[in-house]
Structure 1
Amino acid sequence: MNRIGGKLLALLLLLLTAGAGITLLVAPVLTVSRGYDESIADLRFRLDRYQRSADRVPRLKARLAQLQRQQGTGEELLQGESSAIAGAALQERLKEIVQDAGGRLESTQLLTTSADGAMERLTARARFSGSVEVLQKALYRIEYGRPLLLVEKAGIRRSKQRRLPFRRSREGRPPEQGPDRLRVTLEVAGYRRRGKE
């Protein structure tokens, strides 16, 4: 039995040595293989992302061409040979917007002009009264109309109802009153191209 035990022990040692040798040879190969698999997955992710970016290029080029064509028309900018003329155009545009929306314009005032690179920024204040619908229409026309205008500040208060006898306004209309009557102050900015002075 001693001989069989010795043979079994020798066989067991041989198997352990072979297993350790195989493990020492195979483990680094498996580790490297796992690293390659991770690199392949990362590269596939990057390739998909770059492919999506490349697919957007024609659409972005078309949009760029459209914007460049629009830039040449100048319809997004305030027109005028000087800051004063462009400021008057801004005030007139605000007047049109408020009146077309059904509001009553109280005043417009050019506040500031400032250089902003190749552009000049003009800011005007408009005070008017009207209903919530008038305010909504005016804001929509300011934000989505041409020339491009930006609302910088807005002050909105509900009008106090007067208990005066009924009198017609200057335009021959009865004064508008109601719980939804608002007094609105908007500061609106627009741009014009500099160098036309």
Structure 2
Amino acid sequence: MAALAADPFRPHRHKNTVLLIRHGEKKRDGSVGLNEAGKRRAKCLRKLLGAQGEHNVGLILAEDYDRKTKKRRRPFETVQGLAKDLGLKVDVECEVDDPKCVRRKIDQYAREGGTGDVVVCWKHSMLHKIAHELGAKTRPYPDERYDIMWTLRNGRVVKKESERCPGLDPQHPRKHDGDLEIDATSVIDDDDEEEEEEGSAWDEYDVETSAGQWQLGGLNELD
């Protein structure tokens, strides 16, 4: 039987800054795509997260969408312009309800040497679940807001801030804005993390003893 793979084959603990944002505003009639405010927000993000800003974005993720009906395409449309400016391609391989896929994508990017910030643009009701998969506990993203960006580092939510897009968001911080408060339990404790290791890290490994091969997230490594 093949020997247990060494530490490099364990899931990578990424050190990248992760920025979680909601897609731009949607049309009131329920039709697909961004409304005019959403398009303005997408343009605002090109400046906020672009090369001239304070962030060094190296990976952009958005949920998968239906190529025929264009349903669930708002996250992609929100970051499409930003990706073009940065010479990146928006990764849309993860399903909307698959936070583990998001974590694997970030881990793979870091494992391959990527050191840039990661932008994750998603349906708002899934953002706290993605944060939890990345190690942080936080309240759900507020239903009525489109402007909040969560910053995660080392499995912690370290900042919640408004994007402050001109003409869309208040340009000065609101007093006592509870939506921007960092949760007291924003970090998964050691017991939770140990359970997470047992429940999601090692179960991604498939051992093919006859070939002596380990497989993780679609990447194969030989002993």
TM range (shorter): under 0.3
Q: Give the TM-score normalised by structure 2.
A: 0.19
Q: Give the TM-score normalised by structure 1.
A: 0.21
Which structure carries more helix by proportion? 1
Which structure carries more strand by proportion? 1
